[in-house]
Structure 1
Amino acid sequence: MNTPDNNEPTTSIDAALDALFDSDIDGLLDAPEKPKKVTSSDRLERAFLEIVEYRREHGRNPSSTTREIAERKLGARLDGILANQEKIDALKHLDEFDLLAEPEAPSSLDELLEGDDLDLLADDTGILDVSSLPARKSPVDDFDTATRKKASDFENFEHLFKAKHAELASGDARLAPFPGLQRIEEGSFFVLGGVMLFIAEVGEAEYKKSTVRENRRERLRVIFENGTESSMYRQSLGIRMGEKDGQIVVPTSSESILADDVATGYVYVLQSLSDDPLIADVPDLYKIGFSRGPVEKRVARAEHEPTYLMAPVEIIASYRTYNLKTSALEHLLHRVFAAARLRVSQVGIDGRTYEPSEWFSVPLPIINQAIDLISSGDIVHYVYDTASRRLVERE
């Protein structure tokens, strides 16, 4: 008589389980991994990486004083990190843009004051007022004379000064008090110390760290009517204009320019130079648009952009706008000429197909009339009639 083996049931079960696990090639019986616990260090790194991503996308640090809520949140977060050395030490390995680097000390009092965006150094008590003290000649009293040099291409600007003086003499232009830093823009004329100057270029924004934050500044190319030029910063020119009661040259027909007016961009009219018959044969074809910056820069690469029909363009007209919401105006103007919109597709250099929406077959005098109606606010009462090719009042 055989004696039963007490280990046989256990062995059979183990074998069955082993066979079951071996057959689970998809891992259905695997135990889920226990989620890793998120530490305070992990949260700090994630928070900082959001700031790094903002810098990568926008090319500047987020500001803690802007009205943009998302940016202000990141800016305040960065300020908090910079105020805590332990956090700085913990995040240095992620700091690819030197966001945590200690800012350089200001090299001069002027630089310190320029970096005081929050007006923390304002002198409400008058204790720093030295107006009653004897005047002392300063090396910069003559408007940065030492930094000026002869303009090698002054012949390109001389006629502009003559034309502007003629406008002043005829009454078509006038002098107005310097309205503030925001009006120092390409194409503007100013008078300082009896000398007229022209803003020929505004350079790309530069960012320099001060003791409290990263400051934005732009270097200018300023042409003077005496044939010299300077490459001072916008802020430096603004300081001199304020100190010496500088003036801006404005059209007499325009409303008074106030310090709180905001230059919002340009209304422009373009004509295509395309040799494509589908475009060249369209009568009175013009692009009507808005640009926040100078139109010349906007259209510099027109032949590479579908919105300009992949061809060079000619600037027919350009009008400066103030205190206007350009996006709303653009929508309004396009709605007026909607019936005359060009219907065409363009293939961009990326291979994608685009449908430009700002080209219209409308006579130029009618476009000029529409722009005048925009300025007066009466454009809302008109519509473009394609049969008569003119603007008619809405019924």
Structure 2
Amino acid sequence: MPRYKSLDEIFDEPDEFGLLDIKKTNRGAAATPDARNAEIVSQVNAFYESNGRIPDDNSLDLEEMKLGTIWRSIRTSPSAAMMAADRNRLLGHGHPVVSTATIPETESPAVPEPDWREEVANEEVPASLDDIFGDDDLDVHDAVLNIRNVTPASERQLPDHRADMFPCPDFEHFEDGFAEMQSKLESGDRKVLPVQDNVEITVYEGDFFIHRGLLVYVAEKTELSRRSGKPDHRLRIIFSNGMENDPLSSSFRKALAADKTARIVERAGFGRLDPEWDQDSMAVTGTVYVARSLSRDPEIAEVSRILHKVGVTSQDVRRRIADAKNDPTFLLAPVEIVATYELHNLERMKVEDLLHRFFDAARPQGLVITDRFGKAVHPREWFYVLPEHVSQAVQLIQERRLHEYRYDTQRQLIVKVEQGN
């Protein structure tokens, strides 16, 4: 084996494997900074269309944070290419840009006094992050600049239902109840309990909680479904600040557990059979609605004329179905409302229970929807009935005569119960 006296002798040897070849890269040559900025604008617009907001540069999501940071740095100096890619006018170019040629020569725009913070020469200030990363003097490996193996936000699994906060349209029905409960808490008539770790909270309609520093009232617990065998309900939650949302009971329990300041407001009495148990509940009526699925699933589409969802809600029906395409209880598809019936002097929960028990024999067997997390959901409010059947049943409830009839699934008719049966 030869012995070398110096590095020069080593480098003078033939490099048969090309180990010493240095390949120079010209980062940024593939596209101009303006073209890259236009691509960023296009990505921000796609994010806005999917999420209803621009990306947050302080987000914990790395991809959103990166996109938001670059967007913040380039949005103040939009080019023609950037505005052309801005289909949602996020750059604020709703009005045409006035050309400087229209300004008379005798007039010159006012020039603000220079600020000590802006003493750096203009040519030394990069216009975008791409200008910084494209600097030949900044030798940074591509792996530092590019995030790989991250699923784009637009392709990620979305939650089944966005239980966003929104103003409560009938908050006047709840104001007195909140004031009364606040008085009871201050006087010590009602006590609060901390939310214990690893203890599943049972949420009942009429319960009060303290969440995010606000009094919270469970105005509605409806739409029973089963996820992987576990029962779940849709809730209507009213906040003492006049807002509301409609999460699943499982999601609401998780939110309470995550809030270290959350508290459970104890009810009066010793249980649900105690007459004092419901003394804090507020009387909230509702609307019976019949919905038809617009799903393109062949198994659902072929029976859409006779398969209907029978629901009862205390909130605006239009709000209830607004996010149907993301809600397994609506078969993950848009729906159309084919009939509604207002309740008068009737408790919503009792009407819902009566209707579902009355049409129980017409409930489809084996109706299963797989949610976005791969869990099997069994919706429980769909029946093979027609809107007129629901209308007739509601009328019989109003007349206090529903017990005199039954639903005949063979003839698809509501028939009178024979004496002795």
Q: Return the TM-score normalized by structure 1.
A: 0.36
Q: Return the TM-score normalized by structure 2.
A: 0.34
Higher relative contact order (CA 8 A, sep 6+): 2
